[in-house]
Structure 1
Amino acid sequence: MPFSDNKLTVRSPADLVTAVPYLLGFRPSDGSIVVIASRDRRIVFAARSDLPTPSTPASQPVDLAANLIPVVRRQQPITDLMIVGYGDTDHLDPALRTVGEAFTASGIPVRELLRVTGTRVFNLDCDNPACCPPQGTPFDPTASLIAVQATAAGLVALPDRAAVAARSAPVDGAARDGIRDATRAAATRLKTVSAAGSTGVDEAGAQAVRDALRQHDGGKRLTDDEVAWLTLLLKRPSVRDLAVDLTEPNDRHVTLWADVTRRAEEALVPAPATLLAVTAWRCGDGALAAMAADRALQVDPAYGLAGLLRQALHAGLPPSVFEQAIATDRTNPSGQ
């Protein structure tokens, strides 16, 4: 995840590991590795991956580094790297050292190689007990100034990746029944509008998008009828593209598209899920953006814009490439 504006002041390894959940948007679980690139002591990129399990071949950490190195290189210019692993020493330390050595051999210096076990952080490259005691340095994320800075900056650290995925998970029960009925009624309404030609559908779509954004900005949640009508109209690439253009990179609009994605009928999920991915990406929330794009592609593996976004996120590209992706997608004959 690239960062255009750092808002956290990191002065120690304890500060760094406290900041990681806010940089990612969630707290990494044991078995995770987080690579943090900096430029002149300013964090510009962070990425998380799963470390190989102890039972996997010894070559797996090398393969992991081979995948991460080109992603980090795309963030150039960078001056150094910090690597943080989560879990117990026997599993993590050899893998972390292998990954660190691979980055160093590639010409990217590693400034910190850290392991987090519970509430203690260990520096694998320092054996000075005065600054890096062998029992680790305790840290308390809840009492840290980093947590205060992050909260003030509007950064959120969800408990885990599952909590991020839940933001775009479908509703069920009575909520699902209600949206299903509303979508049937909206489909009948759309047939009437379509009979007048595509111009009328585009005009209805533009109105629905503007109404949704205005209502949500005013603190009003969309009704089932409004969600159903909006999601049917978003199937048209022209309406979805207008929504992309009108949506702003703020938490309100992330919340809007997350809500619409959760409530949309399954076949209608790709467009709002992609809008959620775009908006989250613009806000710097790479984890949510990737999961939302995946949600769109689960329903429609050929959905063009979601695929472009997923490729960009995997490559570690910044949102500044988005306009180029949009231009490419809008000339796609598939219309998606």
Structure 2
Amino acid sequence: MSFSDNKLTVRSPADLVTAVPYLLGFRPSDGSIVVIAIRDRRVVFAARSDLPAPDAPASDLLDLVANLVPVVRRQQPITDLMIVGYGDADRLDPALHAVGEAFTAGGMTVRDLLRVTGTRIFNLTCDNPACCPPQGTPFDPTASLVAVQATAAGLVALPDRAAVAARFAPVDGAARDGIRRATTAAVARLKSLNAAGSTGGDEAGAQAVRDALRQHDAGKRLTDDEVAWLTLLLKRPSVRDLAVALTQPHDRHVTFWAEVTRRAEEALVPAPATLLALTAWRCGDGALAAMAADRALQVDPTYQLADLLRQALHAGLPPSAFERATATVRTSPSE
């Protein structure tokens, strides 16, 4: 079995478990469940969710499954599924069986149900002790060929979701003070520009986006004044849409928008956070994309592009479908 872009080859349950953090971008914590969709021996999709708390009503698990099944079904054609849960047997085994039964009832083939407890893997669908011993199969992800392949391919698995969020967490202290002063100056500058002509902001915004991306690609860090000016002008839908068009789906631009989001004044976070979300999604990093979209909506719950992006992520749509669907929405003057 291999990834759809041929970066990793998976030959065993231990390989698959080692690969999961690279699929997600972070290591799942106990209480997580991951559904991996496979098409002709290639991994094409992975969805992760937190299981309900141990004392939660049974209906909570049913609700989770009711959301997961249609998301995975949209990835058709799918030949089979692998489902991996993390945690102890008492909590995970009943949940894994329930999730597997739901996907089977939905017409999909579940190849294996795997539980990861500590450094052991338990296969709940195999009763052959020769390959699936009752005490589990030990695995060491650091010694796996998959980990070597992932490192060579430039894939990263952060320790947890908190480490993903830290990539675009707001700067504080002196860095925050500097951005605040720069943003005040940028507001005054924009007022003067607007007084000189109604299209000045759009032209300045286009130039700011081009200059900022060019500087970053050349290895130069933006100054506080440049970040403040860029984020202020990104409030204009036309400027933000140009940024969408000019941003490329590679790690350099993910890093760029993460840094701009970190340094932006709170009120100006939605646009760069949404650009970060879209860029991460186009790079295959669904976890970062979802968290960045949530960050945008924390600041402005009415920010339409971030809301549409989050809905698309939750629905399991590919970036191409989202971009087609939002081609007209992105330029709406009401946003």
Does TM-score exceed 0.5, indicating one fold?
A: yes
* Post-superposition CA distance 1:224-253 (Å, at most 9, x none): 010001001101110000000000001110
Matches within 5 A, 1:1-336: 5-334=5-334, 336=335
Query: 1:53: how far off?
Result: 2.0
State the alpha-carbon separation in 2 of the partners of residues 129 and 149 from structure 1: 30
Query: 1:60: how far off?
Result: 2.8
Number of aligned positions between the proteins: 333
State the alpha-carbon separation in 2 of the partners of residues 198 and 71 from structure 1: 45
Amino acid at match of 1:67: N
Query: 1:61: how far off?
Result: 2.4
Query: 1:213: how far off?
Result: 0.4
Specify the SS of the correspondent of 1:132: coil
Query: 1:83: how far off?
Result: 0.2
8 Å contact 1:122–1:136 — kept in the other structure? yes
Query: 1:277: how far off?
Result: 0.6
Q: Percent identity?
A: 86
State the alpha-carbon separation in 2 of the partners of residues 303 and 59 from structure 1: 32
State the alpha-carbon separation in 2 of the partners of residues 29 and 323 from structure 1: 32
State the alpha-carbon separation in 1 of the partners of residues 316 and 216 from structure 2: 31
Query: 1:143: how far off?
Result: 1.0
8 Å contact 1:53–1:91 — kept in the other structure? no
* Post-superposition CA distance 1:5-32 (Å, at most 9, x none): 2421011000000000000000000000
* Post-superposition CA distance 1:283-331 (Å, at most 9, x none): 0000000011011111111111111100100000011113223313135
State the alpha-carbon separation in 1 of the partners of residues 218 and 331 from structure 2: 35
Specify the SS of the correspondent of 2:196: coil
Unmatched 5+ residue regions in structure 1?
A: none
Q: TM-score, normalised by structure 1?
A: 0.97
Specify the SS of the correspondent of 2:93: helix
Unmatched 5+ residue regions in structure 2?
A: none
* Distance change (3 Å), C-alpha of 1:14 and 1:4: closer
Amino acid at match of 2:168: S
- Decide which moves more: 184-193 or 113-122: 184-193
8 Å contact 2:27–2:157 — kept in the other structure? yes
State the alpha-carbon separation in 2 of the partners of residues 103 and 280 from structure 1: 28
Specify the SS of the correspondent of 2:167: helix
8 Å contact 2:126–2:132 — kept in the other structure? yes
* Distance change (3 Å), C-alpha of 1:304 and 1:4: farther
8 Å contact 1:65–1:99 — kept in the other structure? yes
Specify the SS of the correspondent of 2:129: coil
State the alpha-carbon separation in 2 of the partners of residues 97 and 325 from structure 1: 36
Query: 1:165: how far off?
Result: 1.0
State the alpha-carbon separation in 1 of the partners of residues 265 and 154 from structure 2: 31
- Decide which moves more: 65-74 or 197-206: 197-206
Q: TM-score, normalised by structure 2?
A: 0.97
State the alpha-carbon separation in 2 of the partners of residues 178 and 296 from structure 1: 22
Query: 1:333: how far off?
Result: 4.4
Specify the SS of the correspondent of 2:37: strand
State the alpha-carbon separation in 2 of the partners of residues 63 and 204 from structure 1: 48
Query: 1:135: how far off?
Result: 1.0
State the alpha-carbon separation in 2 of the partners of residues 4 and 224 from structure 1: 40
8 Å contact 1:249–1:279 — kept in the other structure? yes
